[in-house]
C-alpha cells in the first residue's frame, strides 16, 4: 500500500479485504421502498375545517353552443350549399331622420354585381344618399381588392370590414345609432359558375342591411374666440355655415372649417388659427354640440415683398409681379397668387413665402406684414428641338438655345434656327417677362430667313419690337393684346409669268401690328366649352422700286366650343381677312393673304388655295374667308387619352378686298388626338372634296395642340 499512513488508518481492514461485503454492511445499503398509494386511504389531518366536496358537486352542465352564422355560411359556401340567410333586425324608425311612427318598407339598392344595400325607403331620401353610396362603393374592400384568386375566407373578411366601414360612414352622416348586418347569398347547388356548376367565390353576393336609426342634428354651435374680430364677426360667422338644427355631417365640419380659415385669411388675419373641432354627441337628445375655437391673431396690411436673392429676382420686380400693393389689406389669396406667378417664371426650383410681422396692430389699426420670399434658382439654360411635317410644307426642324435669366430679372436670350424643305432661318430673341407688371412681355426679335414656296421666294431680314399682355397656361386671360413695330427688308419673287421666272423685287416695309383677343374658353390648348374672338390689324408702309404704298392688313376670327356630352365636343371656326388701301401688285408676296394647310383648310397644301399663276402656283390675294367644323370624340382608349376627330374645312382667297364665298375649296378628313398634360398631340389625315388638277389626294398634318 502506497497510501498515506493517516489515510490508511481511516480505512477499515474489512473494506480492503472484502469491499462488497463491507458496502452491504453499511446503512447506505438500506433501500427505501414506497408503499403503493391507496386511493381509499383516509387523509391525514391537515388542520383545515372545510368539508370535502361530494362527487356530485363536480358535475357541470354546459348548454349547447349556437352555431356561428358567419362560420356556417362560410362552410356552406365551401361545400357548395346555398348560404342560409340570417334573420334581419326589425327597423327601429325611419332612416331619413324623421320618426313619424309609420312602418318603413325595406328596399334594395344595388351598387355593383356583388354589393347590395337593403335599407328603409326613407333612407334614400336623406339628401346625400347618392354621395353616400358612391363613397361606399369606392372604398369597399370587396370591390377595391377583388381579384381572380379570391377565396371564400378572404371575401368573408372583406365583407366584415365593409360592414364596419358602413357603420363608420353612417356616423359621418349623423346616424350614430345605426345598425348594420351583413349576409351572403350564393346560387343553389349545381348552378354556380364553376366547373360542373360548382359554387366559386365569384358567385357570392353580399347584402348589407341598414337600420339607420334617427339622424342626429346639431345642438349648440359655438366658435369661441371669433368675437375678438370685432366688426368682422358677422361676415366671419356667416362664412361658417353650420347652424343649430342642421343635420350632422362630419365632412361638412371639415369644409366649413376650411371656409372659415379662408375667410379669416381674406379679411386680414394673416396668422389666424383654428383648433380641432369638438363634437359632443348626446344620445339622450339625438343631438351633437359643436365647438370650434378660433385664435384670430390680429389684423394686418401688406408691407414689402422681400427677395432672398435680389441679384436673381429683385424685391422690386417681385412687388411688380404681385397683385397687391403696399398698404392693401392682407389676403392669403394674394400670397398664393404671387407664389404661382413666381413659379410660372420657370426660374425657381423651390420657393417659400412667409408672412413676417413688421409692426403689430395698435389701437384698432391693422399691423403690417412683410412677405419674405425664399428662392432656390432652377437650371436656366435650355437646348430644345422640334420636328414637324405636313404635306404642303414638308419637313421643318427647329433648334434653339436659351438662357432664361441672362439679364435679370427675367431677361431671356434665345438663339434659334430653322431648317426645312421650304424655309431656313437664323435669329435671336430678347424677351423680358413680367415687364413693368404681371404677364406683360417685351420682345425684341431679329432674324434672317429664306423661303422657297410655290407662292413666292423670299430672302428677308426683319426686326420686331413688341409689347404684349399674354395669356399663359398658368394664367389664362380673358383679355390679351399686343402692339408692336416691325421693320422688314426683303427680296421676293412670285411664281412665274408666261412660264418664265420673274425678277426679284426689293421691298422695305414698316408696320405697326396690333392684336386683341377676348377669350371665354375653358382651356388654352384644349378647350371644351366657350368661345374666342380675335382681331388683328397692321397698318403698313411699303417701298419698292421708288414707289410707296400704304395699306391695312386685318382679319377677324371667331371660335366656338360646345360640349354635346361628356365625351363629345363640337368646335367651329370662322375667319375673314382683308387688305385695303392698295392693289395686289404693290403688296409684297409675303404680306398677302393665303389659305390652305394644317391651321387653315386641311386637305390642301400650305398656302395653296386662291388665285394661281400660269403654272398653278398660288399668288395670294387681298381677301380671305375660312370655315372649320369638327367633332372631338374622347374615346375610352388608353384611359381616355385618345380622341377621334372627324372634320370638314372650307376656304377661299380672292384679289378683291371684300371677303366672299365664291370659289370655295372644301376639305375633309379624320384626326387622332393624344391628350397629354401639356396639350394634345395632333395627327390629321385629310383629302380635298373638290380638288383642282394639281392638288394631292391625301394630306397629313402633325403638330401640338388642337387645329383651333
Higher pLDDT, 496 or 272: 272
Residue 56 above 60 pLDDT? no
Give the torsion sign (CA, 683, 687, 689, 692).
Answer: positive
Mean pLDDT value of segment 19-31 = 51
CA distance 404 to 402: 6
Residue 373 DSSP SS3: strand
Residue 79 above 70 pLDDT? no
Q: Specify the range with the lowest mean pLDDT, choosing from 47-61, 371-385, 494-508, 582-596.
A: 47-61
Mean pLDDT value of segment 361-378 = 95
Residue 150 DSSP SS3: coil
And the C-alpha cell for 598? 394644317
Please provide residue 635's backbone torsions phi and psi, each rounded to the nearest 5 degrees. -80, 175
CA distance 493 to 454: 11
**For the chain, how far is it from start to end, CA to CA, in angstroms?**
127
- pLDDT, residue 563, reads 96
- pLDDT, residue 35, reads 47
- Tell me, what DSSP letter sits at residue 319? H
- pLDDT, residue 256, reads 97
- pLDDT, residue 616, reads 78
- What domains are there in the chain, each with its CATH number? 69-211 (no CATH), 217-295 (3.10.20.310), 300-377 (3.10.20.310), 381-704 (2.40.160.50)
Mean pLDDT value of segment 446-473 = 91
CA distance 35 to 234: 98
Higher pLDDT, 497 or 372: 372
Residue 422 above 70 pLDDT? yes
Residues found in the chain: 708
Which secondary-structure segment (H or E) carries 36? none
- pLDDT, residue 336, reads 96
pLDDT tens column, 465-507 = 999 998 988 889 999 999 999 999 999 987 655 455 667 889 9
Residue 124 DSSP SS3: helix
**E strands within 332-432?**
348-359, 367-377, 381-390, 394-403, 411-420, 423-432
Residue 15 above 70 pLDDT? no
CA distance 611 to 608: 9
pLDDT tens column, 134-177 = 999 999 998 888 877 778 888 889 999 999 999 999 999 999 99
- pLDDT, residue 18, reads 66
Mean pLDDT value of segment 366-374 = 98
Mean pLDDT value of segment 525-548 = 94
Residue 60 above 80 pLDDT? no
Which whole-number Å values give the CA distances from 180 to 102, 154, 365, in the listed order? 21, 20, 57
- Tell me, what DSSP letter sits at residue 616? S
- pLDDT, residue 265, reads 97
Which whole-number Å values give the CA distances from 27 to 22, 30, 32, in the listed order? 11, 6, 11
Residue 703 above 60 pLDDT? yes
- pLDDT, residue 397, reads 92
Contact 696/669 with Cβ under 8 angstroms? no
Say how many CA atoms lie within 13 Å of 489 toward its Cβ.
5
* pLDDT band at residue 52 using 50, 70 and 90 as cut-offs: low
What count of other Cβ atoms lies within 10 Å of the Cβ of residue 143? 18
CA distance 605 to 614: 18
Mean pLDDT value of segment 260-283 = 96
CA distance 615 to 496: 7
Mean pLDDT value of segment 77-87 = 39
- Tell me, what DSSP letter sits at residue 541? E
- pTM attached to this predicted model: 0.72
Mean pLDDT value of segment 616-625 = 91
* pLDDT band at residue 86 using 50, 70 and 90 as cut-offs: very low
CA distance 83 to 183: 9
Q: What rounded mean pLDDT belongs to the chain?
A: 86
Residue 78 above 60 pLDDT? no
Strands 530-544 and 547-563 come out as antiparallel
- pLDDT, residue 30, reads 42
pLDDT tens column, 635-649 = 989 888 999 999 999
* pLDDT band at residue 74 using 50, 70 and 90 as cut-offs: very low
- pLDDT, residue 72, reads 52
Q: Specify the range with the lowest mean pLDDT, choosing from 63-72, 239-248, 306-315.
A: 63-72
CA distance 181 to 161: 12
* pLDDT band at residue 199 using 50, 70 and 90 as cut-offs: confident
Q: Is 476 exposed, middle or buried (0-12, 13-18, 19+ CB in 10 A)?
A: middle
Strands 115-120 and 205-211 come out as parallel
CA nearest to 488, candidates 467, 515, 458? 458
- pLDDT, residue 190, reads 78
Amino acid at each position: 500500500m502506497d497510501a498515506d499512513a493517516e489515510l490508511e488508518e481511516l480505512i477499515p481492514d474489512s473494506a480492503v479485504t472484502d469491499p462488497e461485503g463491507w458496502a452491504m454492511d453499511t446503512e447506505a445499503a438500506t433501500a427505501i421502498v414506497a408503499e403503493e398509494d391507496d386511493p381509499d386511504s383516509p387523509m391525514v389531518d391537515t388542520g383545515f375545517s372545510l368539508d370535502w366536496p361530494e362527487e356530485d358537486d363536480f358535475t357541470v352542465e354546459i348548454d349547447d353552443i349556437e352555431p356561428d352564422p358567419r362560420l356556417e355560411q362560410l362552410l356552406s359556401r365551401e361545400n357548395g350549399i346555398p348560404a342560409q340567410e340570417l334573420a334581419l333586425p326589425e327597423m327601429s324608425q325611419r332612416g331619413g331622420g324623421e320618426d313619424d311612427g309609420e312602418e318603413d318598407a325595406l328596399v334594395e339598392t344595388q351598387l355593383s354585381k356583388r354589393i347590395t344595400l337593403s335599407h328603409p325607403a326613407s333612407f334614400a331620401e336623406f339628401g346625400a344618399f347618392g354621395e353616400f353610396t358612391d363613397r361606399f362603393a369606392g372604398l369597399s374592400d370587396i370591390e377595391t381588392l377583388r381579384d381572380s384568386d379570391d377565396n371564400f375566407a378572404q371575401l368573408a373578411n372583406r365583407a366584415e370590414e365593409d360592414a364596419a366601414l358602413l357603420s363608420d360612414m353612417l356616423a359621418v352622416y349623423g346616424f350614430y345609432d345605426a345598425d348594420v348586418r351583413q349576409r351572403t347569398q350564393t346560387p343553389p347547388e349545381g348552378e354556380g359558375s364553376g366547373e360542373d356548376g360548382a359554387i366559386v367565390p365569384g358567385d357570392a353576393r353580399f347584402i348589407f342591411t341598414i337600420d339607420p336609426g334617427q339622424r342626429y342634428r346639431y345642438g349648440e354651435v359655438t366658435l369661441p374666440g371669433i368675437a375678438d374680430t370685432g366688426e368682422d364677426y358677422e361676415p366671419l360667422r356667416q362664412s361658417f355655415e353650420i347652424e343649430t338644427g342642421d343635420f350632422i355631417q362630419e365632412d361638412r365640419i371639415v369644409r366649413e372649417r376650411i371656409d372659415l380659415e379662408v375667410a379669416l385669411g381674406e379679411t386680414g388675419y394673416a396668422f389666424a388659427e383654428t383648433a380641432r373641432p369638438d363634437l359632443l354627441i348626446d344620445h339622450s337628445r339625438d343631438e351633437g354640440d359643436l365647438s370650434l375655437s378660433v385664435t384670430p391673431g390680429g389684423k394686418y396690411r401688406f408691407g414689402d415683398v422681400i427677395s432672398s436673392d435680389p441679384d436673381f429676382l429683385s424685391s422690386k420686380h417681385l412687388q411688380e409681379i404681385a397683385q397687391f400693393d403696399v398698404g392693401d389689406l392682407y389676403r392669403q389669396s394674394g400670397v398664393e397668387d404671387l407664389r404661382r406667378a413666381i413659379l410660372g417664371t420657370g426660374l425657381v426650383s423651390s420657393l417659400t413665402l412667409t408672412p413676417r410681422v413688421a409692426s403689430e396692430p395698435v389701437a384698432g389699426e391693422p399691423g403690417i406684414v412683410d412677405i419674405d420670399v425664399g428662392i432656390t434658382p432652377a437650371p436656366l439654360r435650355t437646348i430644345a428641338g422640334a420636328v414637324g411635317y405636313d404635306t404642303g410644307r414638308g419637313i421643318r426642324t427647329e433648334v434653339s438655345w436659351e438662357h432664361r435669366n441672362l439679364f435679370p430679372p427675367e431677361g431671356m436670350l434665345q438663339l434659334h434656327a430653322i431648317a426645312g424643305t421650304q424655309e431656313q432661318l437664323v435669329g435671336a430673341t430678347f424677351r423680358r417677362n413680367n415687364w413693368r407688371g404681371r404677364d406683360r412681355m417685351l420682345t425684341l426679335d431679329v432674324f434672317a430667313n429664306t423661303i422657297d414656296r410655290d407662292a413666292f421666294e423670299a430672302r428677308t431680314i426683319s426686326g420686331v419690337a413688341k409689347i404684349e399682355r399674354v395669356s399663359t397656361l398658368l394664367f389664362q386671360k380673358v383679355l390679351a393684346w399686343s402692339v408692336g413695330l416691325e421693320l422688314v427688308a426683303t427680296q421676293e419673287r412670285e411664281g412665274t409669268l408666261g412660264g418664265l421666272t420673274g425678277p426679284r423685287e426689293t421691298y422695305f416695309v414698316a408696320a405697326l401690328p396690333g392684336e386683341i383677343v377676348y377669350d371665354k374658353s375653358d382651356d388654352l390648348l384644349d378647350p371644351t366649352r366657350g368661345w374666342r374672338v380675335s382681331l388683328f390689324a397692321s397698318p403698313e408702309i411699303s417701298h419698292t422700286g421708288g414707289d410707296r404704298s400704304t395699306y391695312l392688313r386685318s382679319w377677324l376670327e371667331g371660335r366656338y366650343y360646345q360640349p354635346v356630352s361628356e365625351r363629345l365636343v363640337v368646335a367651329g371656326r370662322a375667319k375673314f381677312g382683308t387688305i385695303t388701301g392698295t392693289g395686289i401688285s404693290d403688296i409684297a408676296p409675303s404680306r398677302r393673304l393665303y389659305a390652305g394647310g394644317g391651321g387653315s383648310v386641311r386637305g390642301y397644301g400650305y398656302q395653296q388655295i386662291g388665285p394661281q399663276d400660269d403654272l398653278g402656283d398660288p399668288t395670294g390675294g387681298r381677301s380671305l374667308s375660312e370655315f372649320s367644323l369638327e367633332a372631338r370624340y374622347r374615346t375610352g382608349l388608353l384611359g381616355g387619352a385618345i380622341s377621334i376627330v372627324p372634320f370638314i374645312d372650307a376656304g377661299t382667297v380672292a384679289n378683291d378686298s371684300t371677303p366672299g364665298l365664291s370659289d370655295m375649296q372644301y376639305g375633309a378628313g379624320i384626326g387622332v388626338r393624344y391628350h397629354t398634360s401639356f396639350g394634345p398631340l395632333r395627327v390629321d389625315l385629310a383629302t380635298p372634296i373638290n380638288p383642282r388638277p394639281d392638288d394631292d389626294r391625301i394630306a397629313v398634318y402633325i403638330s401640338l395642340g388642337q387645329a383651333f
